[in-house]
Amino acid sequence: MNNTFFNPDTPLESPLLPPAADPAEAGRDFSRIGLAYAVLTLGVQAAAMAAQYLLAYLAPAVFSTWWINWVFSLVPLYGVALPLMWLILKGVPVSPHNTDFLQGRVTAEKPPLGFSRWMILLVIAFGCVTAGGLAGNLIMSILSALLDYDYANALSTIVDQSPVWMTFFATCICAPLGEELLFRKLLIDRTRRYGDLPSILLSGLLFGLFHGNLFQFFYAALVGVILAYVYTRTGRYRWCVAMHAAINFMGSIITPALVNMLPEDLMSFTNLLQPFIYLFILVWQYGMLIAGIVLFCVLLSKRKLSRGTAPLWRENAVSVVLGNVGMIACLVVMGLVMGLNLWPVR
């Protein structure tokens, strides 16, 4: 254990602290990262659009099948956009896992995460899903009323139209493996030398924006922060995949199955089981919300974040991470995609 004392007023050249990052070098790294995720977003949109036009010309009948939306979701992302992104991202060096964290004014070793702490973080993540989902649905309801347009949650529509096995394969296997690779391993491996905090916040922000709609943005960003914290604590991809799969299993398999057992009019239950199902859904969602808030507040003071081997300083951290050409392009592209998805189609 390294018991080096941390003094925020210590000059940058002090041997007690790791050398601060060169803002120009760090800015170039974050710019390249931003460009890579901009290409990822554009690649998905361009490939999906090209596939839609091609199939509309060659085989228009496929648009009436349930599986075509999954094709448009998965193939452009992993078959086209990911390879293009990798060509840009591989130029940013990978850093080793940060093994220390600040504990008060001293540096200590990060202890193993442990299954019990992972379960606590999972409960917090479930609470984030409820909180973010409520926020997203509220904002979309307000927009629907203001614009007199009935917005639909595209993911919920796809899930409702698909067999359970396909939903499980796409949301509980493909999504956790692919998205944790994209937004945790590939991203954090290249940013953690600048500190855990900027890595975690950037991972959550890009993860939320990449979903491209306000229904999912808030809970995806919040859950992305939890998953990023798990990765910075452990350096293990599988811990994040397991948590992501558990969240998606509950949200895409269990909850829709239970909701489908309920009548459209909740005041007209047709059997004795339905009230208990409705009560279980309410208790689960709001119980996880309350438990998540409480546990988050308890664990906040016990967070274990490393400053990294080339820390960013508070005065220039935001400008270094976000104030560069590549990252600005990324945020603009992701924002435009979200804006286009909000554009009413009449």
Number of domain units in the chain: 1
Asked if the structure places residue 61 within a domain, the reply is yes
Rounding to the nearest 10 degrees, give the CA dihedral for residues 287, 121, 206, 20: 140
Asked if the structure places residue 2 within a domain, the reply is no
**Which among 208, 197, 184 is positioned nearest to 129, based on CA atoms?**
208
Q: What is the 3-state secondary structure (H, E, C) of 267-296?
A: CCCCCCHHHHHHHHHHHHHHHHHHHHHHHH
Asked if the structure places residue 218 within a domain, the reply is yes
Q: What are phi and psi for residue 327, nearest 5 degrees?
A: -70, -35
What's the mean pLDDT when you consider all of the chain? 90
For the chain, the residue count is 346
- 87-103: per-residue pLDDT in tens? 999 999 999 999 998 77
For CA atoms 57, 58, 60, 64, give the dihedral sign: negative
Asked if the structure places residue 16 within a domain, the reply is no
- 196-251: per-residue pLDDT in tens? 999 999 999 999 999 999 999 999 999 999 999 999 999 999 999 999 999 999 99
Give residue 123's domain range.
Answer: 23-342
Q: What is the pLDDT of residue 93?
A: 94
Taking the C-alpha atoms of residue 240 and residue 184, their distance in angstroms, rounded to an integer, is 8
Asked if the structure places residue 6 within a domain, the reply is no
3-state DSSP assignment of residue 166: helix
pLDDT at 10 over 90: no
pTM: 0.91
CA 340 to mean position of chain CA atoms = 20
